[in-house]
Amino acid sequence: MDSQGSHSLGPAVVAVAWTFASLAILVVGARLYARLRIVRRLSIDDCIILFTLCLGLGNSIFLTISTSWGLGQHLSVLQADPERVMYTVKWVYLCEFFSILCPCFGRISFALLLLGIIPPTSTSRRTFLKCIIVVQLVVDVGTVIISFSQCQPLEGFWNKSIASTCWPPFVQQYTGFTQGSVCSLIDLILALFPASMFWSLKMQWKQKVALSSLMGLGVFAMIASIVKTVGLRAITATDDLTYEMANLAIWWTLEANLVLIAASVPTLRPIFKVKRGQIRDGGSAGTGLGTWNRSQRIKMSTNDDSGPFVALSEPESRDEADIGVQLKSYDNHGYQANAIAGQKAQDHVGDGIRRDFTVTVVYGKQDS
């Protein structure tokens, strides 16, 4: 009893929760700074990541409250005070709302960010990412609904003194296994997806590795998700709920914040470009790739040349009347073609073989 009483995971839970919450605040703050002050464009993925941060902070707050009641201590220590047990379980149980939806919207934000750098001609890639978003949303929202429907009334989950009807524990266990497995797979897909895009571009392999690594940080979130999913078995197989839930809470907190950070780090590139004196509008991903949206379409002339187009450089001026867009495309024969909006194509001297043609650039207000 004495050894159990002296061993508590509570301090570790609070330390992990607020250390990674602070790191997430710094990264998201830097992201918003880059978007508002440098790129001067806020997109839907930025709004979603801000909502994700709020969910992550909710997770840290609820875990802190639960820890103050006894989360992380062994149940045998808390049994002398049933009220502490009840409120410990209550707050960590309510925390599931944040722990599930925080990484959910973090992954959706990153998927939308990837959609922003994929040209509209890549319909298969865009459709695939949209399916990922739908699957992620359906699985996680469904898990939340099941979790908060397992006891009627809801209070019956933590208050055993009232009459309630609850589903068998295996329902929540299998639901958690399914949700955790799907999320781990999506983390892996989103981590590898950028590499599949960059590897087909004509750039140095070092650049490909750097960009793929920068946008593939979600693999660390995948590891945390796998460990969390495996740990679900311990929750249904033990009576020491207040201790085992603390161990699980550490891993779901790591997962949530790592997803958030991995989705935001690629957008910080404009900050480093400013420090090097290279102020550029890097698009939604901050990777130097142009942003594609429904209000901006690059249309070729009647010849058969096609994209995908990639933005090479943008002017420092943000005045839309003066904006020039430099585009690069490799046609079906492997030739390189360059054109600058507002100038004649033959006025621009590019590297390698040049082929002049006419493009039409249509601008409109961006959906954000």
For residue 253, what is the domain's CATH number?
1.20.1070
Q: Do 89 and 228 lie in a common domain?
A: yes
d(CA 14, CA 67): 7
User: Is 341's pLDDT higher than 70?
Assistant: no
User: Is 366's pLDDT higher than 60?
Assistant: no
- Residue 195 is predicted with a pLDDT of 86
d(CA 199, CA 112): 20
pLDDT 10s digits, 150-194: 999 999 999 988 999 999 988 988 999 999 999 999 999 999 998
Least confident span in 127-141, 158-172, 197-211, 341-355:
341-355
Domain termination site, one of 273, 302, 329: 273
How does strand 297-300 pair with strand 336-340? unpaired
More confident residue, 201 or 92: 92
Mean pLDDT of 65-87: 93
- Residue 278 is predicted with a pLDDT of 56
Residue at 285 is within a domain: no
Q: Do 48 and 104 lie in a common domain?
A: yes
Residue 308: asked if its preceding bond is cis (omega within 30°), the reply is yes
What total of structural domains would you count in the chain?
2
User: Is 308's pLDDT higher than 80?
Assistant: no
d(CA 310, CA 300): 14
DSSP for 190-216 reads: HHHHHHHHHTTSSS-HHHHHHHHHHTT
Q: Do 300 and 251 lie in a common domain?
A: no
- Residue 147 is predicted with a pLDDT of 94
Q: Do 140 and 244 lie in a common domain?
A: yes
User: Is 304's pLDDT higher than 70?
Assistant: no
- Residue 129 is predicted with a pLDDT of 96
CA 151 to chain centre: 31
C-alpha dist (Å) from residue 199 to 15, 79, 211, 297: 39, 58, 10, 24
More confident residue, 358 or 243: 243
* Element containing residue 98 per DSSP (H, E): helix 96-115
DSSP state letter for 268: G
Q: pLDDT grade, residue 312 (50/70/90)?
A: very low
The pLDDT mean for the chain works out to 78
Residue at 281 is within a domain: no
Q: Do 310 and 248 lie in a common domain?
A: no
Tokens representing 229 are 């999913």
Q: Do 223 and 313 lie in a common domain?
A: no
- Residue 275 is predicted with a pLDDT of 67
User: Is 349's pLDDT higher than 80?
Assistant: no
DSSP for 306-368 reads: ----EE----S---TTT---EEEEE-TTS-EEEEETTS-GGG---SS-B----EEEE--PPP-
Mean pLDDT of 311-334: 34
Q: Do 116 and 210 lie in a common domain?
A: yes
- Residue 245 is predicted with a pLDDT of 92
Q: Do 212 and 325 lie in a common domain?
A: no
d(CA 96, CA 102): 10
**Residue span of the structural domain in which 118 resides:** 2-273
Q: Do 222 and 120 lie in a common domain?
A: yes
| Nearest residue to 169 via CA among 98, 104, 86, 234 | 234
pLDDT 10s digits, 269-300: 888 877 666 554 444 334 434 444 444 443 43
More confident residue, 96 or 302: 96
pLDDT 10s digits, 25-65: 999 999 999 999 998 889 999 999 999 999 999 999 999 99
Q: Do 244 and 330 lie in a common domain?
A: no
pLDDT 10s digits, 108-118: 999 999 999 88
- Residue 5 is predicted with a pLDDT of 53
Q: pLDDT grade, residue 6 (50/70/90)?
A: low
Q: pLDDT grade, residue 362 (50/70/90)?
A: very low
Residue at 283 is within a domain: no
Contact (CB, 8 A) for 150 and 96: no
Q: Do 162 and 51 lie in a common domain?
A: yes
- Residue 325 is predicted with a pLDDT of 32
Residue 354 exposure: Cα atoms within 13 Å on the Cβ side: 11
One-letter amino acid for residue 355 of the chain:
R
